[in-house]
Each structure stands twice: as C-alpha cells, then as structure tokens.
Amino acid sequence: MVQSSKPSGDQISSQVRRDLRASIGDAVGYSFTVGLGEAYIAAFALAVGMGEVVTGLVATLPMLLGSVLQLMAPGMARALGSLRRWVLICAVVQSLSLVPLGYAAWHGRISAPVLLLIVTLYWAANLSTGPAWNTWIGTLVPKPIRANYFALRSRFAQVAVLIGLAVAGLSLHYGKQQDRTLTVFCFLFLAAAMCRLISAWFLSRHSEPQPIPKNYRMVPFKELLGRVRSAADGRLLGYMITVQVCVQVSGPFFTPYMLGRLQFSYMEYLMLIAGAFVSKIIAFPLLGRFADRYGASALLWFSGVGIVPLSAFWIVSDQLVYLLVLQVFAGAIWAGYELATFLLLFDHIAEHERTSILTVFNFANALAMVGGSLLGGTVLGVMGEVIGSYHVVFVMSGVARLGTLFFLRGLVSPASRPKMIRFDAFFPRILAVRPSLGSLDRPLLPEVDQADEDGESLTGDEPERQDKPAALRT
C-alpha cells in the first residue's frame, strides 16, 4: 500500500511548533550576540588605543560598507534557490567575524584598518540576513498567531539583549579593576560568536516550505527611485534619511564622549545605555496606544519634534543622574519615532518585494549614517578631541535636526489620521545597541500583510484600487 506523501494536520501542526520554538532559540542566541559583543565594539576600540574620532566611525563606516555588500543578498538568495541556505551562510559568517576581535583583544593590539575590515564583514553578514529572513519567516508563522507569537519572540529577544549588556558591562567593570580589561573583551567576543553559532543551529532547524516564495522579485532601482520621487512612502523615506544624517553628526561620538572625555566607568556606561534601551521597550506599547487613537502621523510629529533637542541636552550637565534621566527620555522619544515611521512606511510593501526593498533601505540608511558621522568627525578632528569640541558637535546636531521639521511639515499633517496596520503588528528586530538611540532596530514585517481593508492611501486620501500591487500604492 502506497502511503500519501501529503502530511496530515497533526504533522503540519507539529512542524509549525518546532519552527516556532527554533525561531525563539534563534532570537535569543542572536540577541546575546548583540548584547555581549556588538554593543561594546566601540568601547573595545577605545580600550586598544584607537582615537576617539576613529572610534566614532567604527559605529557607522562598517555599516555602509556592509550595506553595499548586502545589496547582493536578493540575487544570492535566488541563485542559491533558498532563503534558508542564504540566511544560514550569513549567520555563520557573522559568528566567525567576531573571532578575530577576540584574538586581537587577547594580544592587546589591532590596527584601525583591520578593525574596520572585521566589523565591515560582521555588518555585511548581519544586514544580508535581515531582508531574506523577513521573507522566510513569513512563510513559517501562520497568520492567525503572528501578533501573539512575534510579541512573545520580541520579548525574549529584548530580555536576552538586556542580560547580555549587563553581563558584559559588569564583566568589563570587574576586569578594569583587575587590570584585565582586554582579556575580558576577548572572552566576550568569543562568547558572542558562540551565541551566534547557536543561533545558526536553531536556524538550521527551521523548515522551508517555500524556498523562494511565489512572485518573489527584485524591484529595479529605476522603479524604486520613481516611487521615492512620487509616492508618499518615498517622501517619508526621504525624511527618515535626512533625520539619520542629522542624528549621526553626534550619535557615533557619545561612546567616546562618555568613556574618553567624561571618564565614566563601564558600570556607569552600562547604566546609560541600559536606561535608554529599557525605556524604549516600555514605551513601545504605550506609544502604540497613542498611535492607535490619534494616528501614526500625530505620533511622528510628536517624536519628530522631541528628537530635535536631545543631543544638545548633553551639554547641560555631566552628572550621571541627569544624563540617566535624559537617556530614559531619549529612549521613549526614539521608540515613538521608530514606531511611527515604520507603521507609515511599510504599510504597503508587498511580501514578494520585501527582500529587495529592505535591502535598498539598508543601504540608503547606512549612507546617511556615514555622511553625518563624517561631518561630526571632521569637526572633532579640526577642533581637537576636547569636551568643548564635543559640545559643538552636539549643538550642531540639534540645530540640523530642527531643519528636518521643514520636511516633516510637507510630509504629513499632524491632524491627519490615516488608516494603517495595527500598532501591535509592529515588532522591532534589534540590530545593534547605541547609547544615543537605545537600540538600532528594523521591523519584523510578516504581520504587515494585514494592511488596511478598505484600501485607503498612506496619507488618508481617497481609496486605492485593490487590484493594484500593494507596493505600488501611493
């Protein structure tokens, strides 16, 4: 008797449960990598004697170079015929890229070009997994349980990052007291590499019902550029890039300012970055209710104005209590900004174009980050690495952010309340931890498929035709 190859309902349910458990394991392993390793790369650069300007650029320049390499990600996934295979390769490469950092920490020396090369490899692998993984995970998690599942997954990830930050910060604090700081860095980077390998093992346990989803396509650059010029989501992207440039004038230099100029201990450094990170986690659901009641446009105005003075506030006082309160406030403001922009921008991205569009977004975002950091780094290089120079950079960033309100004014009306996806469909995927932002996030997009049912446009104008591809709606 020939048995049917079609799995039964029980078998399907069992496979889904295995996939869901494996995905949480992947999230925890990856998040420990961020908390133990990535979050302290800039601090490591200072510890091995890098200049403060170079240390600031370590946080941005490798992301740009890495984003250039990840432009190949959609094509590579198609060439391999499997999103799963591509994500696994990138996860292993990301893990291995941390091993040379552990080696350098053990020997107590590394040149700036080599450090930038290693961190570039880390970011190339990291950014290359994101778009493909987003598409892949959308084929694994059933739509009816996505909201609850991704909420749970995000909480596990956030807790793991926080534990990683705490373990690393406390270890470095102890290591500095024992004059073993670089030894501690060595073990932290190796532990972070191991955590990413564990994450990769969990990824290998995932199934792949659709190696390349139906209608998977790469959006031609010319077509995407046309959307940026004419579509509401394209104009929003332009605003986000402008904000990124202004923020990064000062953002990459918070770590050298705290550890180099203010001479904070690793314990105090941990308190400041954890303050912004925890505040961001707590603020997401609260601000989500605000967006649900008043609309994402109102939330974007609230947070867009709120981010303007944040960097300038750093010059008011160097007292730890004041800066900690400021970090808590900053974390909440940045949570609102991320929630509003991602809800608005990704409301109409079609699933089959998601990998391609996110890849280009990563590149544009990284380009903006480097542009801003080079401007801030130039000012510090010319004026010298003294506290007064940092204050000039912080004020410059604040003044530049004020100019972004002009672009925001022409983008959305603070009184508009467009139809959009539910706020509780947004779950951040943590890419990195940054003192000035709390964390650098990307959205988990599978739940974004639950777009508005009546087809209203991003700006709340007349309804769109539903036979038009979602990513082409304006």
Kindly write down the DSSP assignment for every residue of 406-437, as one continuous string.
HHHHTT--TT-------GGG-EEEEEE--TTT
* Residue 303 and residue 334 in contact, taking contact as beta carbons nearer than 8 Å: yes
Residue among 324, 195, 191, 328 nearest 267 (CA): 324
pLDDT of residue 65: 79
pLDDT of residue 452: 38
pLDDT of residue 200: 95
pLDDT of residue 68: 78
H helix or E strand, kind and range, residue 441: strand 440-444
* Whole-number Å distance between alpha carbons of 166 and 267: 9
- Amino acid type, 64: L
H helix or E strand, kind and range, residue 379: helix 354-383
Residue 441's DSSP bridge partners are 430
The pair of three-digit structure tokens given for residue 328, joined into one six-digit string: 């808590």
From the CB of residue 141, how many other CB atoms can be counted at a distance below 10 Å?
19
* Residue 253 and residue 390 in contact, taking contact as beta carbons nearer than 8 Å: yes
- Amino acid type, 351: E
* Residue 451 and residue 421 in contact, taking contact as beta carbons nearer than 8 Å: yes
Q: How far is CA 395 from CA 56, 143, 258, 264, 326, in A?
A: 17, 46, 16, 21, 16
Residues in contact with 239: Cβ distance below 8 Å, sequence separation at least 6, in sequence order: 404, 407, 408, 411
Mean pLDDT by 10 residues, the chain (474 residues): 42 77 94 93 92 86 79 76 89 95 94 92 87 79 77 86 94 93 96 96 88 61 59 70 90 90 92 90 84 82 93 93 94 89 66 63 81 90 90 94 82 51 62 75 55 36 35 28
Ranges of H-type helices in 295-353: 296-306, 320-345
Q: How far is CA 157 from CA 152, 277, 287, in A?
A: 9, 12, 20
* Residue 50 and residue 185 in contact, taking contact as beta carbons nearer than 8 Å: no
* Residue 110 and residue 104 in contact, taking contact as beta carbons nearer than 8 Å: yes
DSSP state of 444: E
pLDDT of residue 35: 93
From the CB of residue 49, how many other CB atoms can be counted at a distance below 10 Å?
11
pLDDT of residue 464: 38
* Residue 265 and residue 173 in contact, taking contact as beta carbons nearer than 8 Å: yes
Crossing angle of helices 232-248 and 221-230, in 10° steps, is 90
Residues in contact with 473: Cβ distance below 8 Å, sequence separation at least 6, in sequence order: 231, 348, 455, 457, 458, 464
CATH top-level class of 13-472: mainly alpha
